[in-house]
């Protein structure tokens, strides 16, 4: 199956980010890492810049690599796009939820699907 490679980098803004340690049997994050993630991403309700390049995702100052299990959806009855993935940052593994409520959420969805098809075809 061939796909058109999307123009990179892909940049959009997310209103909601939730990051937590995953898998549960991975090393426990330090208290400082947990507090940083909570303050910078999980409990920070300002829009956050999300940049996708090939096989890595940058959310503000956090670079997630070793991306796998990418899922992208438009939840029923909601005007938003959500991307969920697993990745590695600094010295920890994580499960990340990224949600945008932007007016162009369907355009974001289509762009993310193209990126997923190009770089993570096994996630479908």
Ordered by start, the domain boundaries in the chain are 10-123
Q: Per-residue pLDDT for 1 more than 60?
A: no
Alpha-carbon dihedral sign for residues 31, 37, 40, 42: negative
Q: Give the class (CATH, top level) of 10-123.
A: mainly beta
Paired residues of 86 in beta bridges: 68, 95
The span from the CA of 114 to the CA of 54, in Å, is 12
Q: What is the pLDDT of residues 82-102, one digit of tens each?
A: 999 999 998 899 999 999 998
Question: How confident is residue 4, by pLDDT bands cut at 50, 70 and 90?
Answer: low
pLDDT at 124: 63
- φ/ψ of 117, rounded to 5, equals -60, -35
């Amino acid at each position: 199956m061939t796909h058109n490679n999307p123009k990179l980098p892909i940049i959009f803004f997310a209103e909601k980010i939730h990051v937590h340690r995953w898998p549960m049997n991975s090393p426990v994050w330090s208290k400082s890492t947990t507090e940083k993630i909570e303050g910078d991403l999980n409990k920070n309700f300002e829009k956050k810049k999300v940049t996708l390049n090939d096989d890595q995702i940058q959310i503000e100052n956090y670079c997630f690599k070793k991306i796998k299990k990418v899922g992208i959806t438009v939840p029923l009855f909601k005007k938003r796009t959500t991307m969920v993935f697993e990745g590695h940052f600094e010295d920890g593994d994580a499960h990340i939820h990224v949600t945008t409520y932007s007016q162009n959420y369907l355009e974001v969805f289509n762009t993310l699907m193209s990126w997923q098809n190009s770089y993570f075809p096994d996630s479908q």
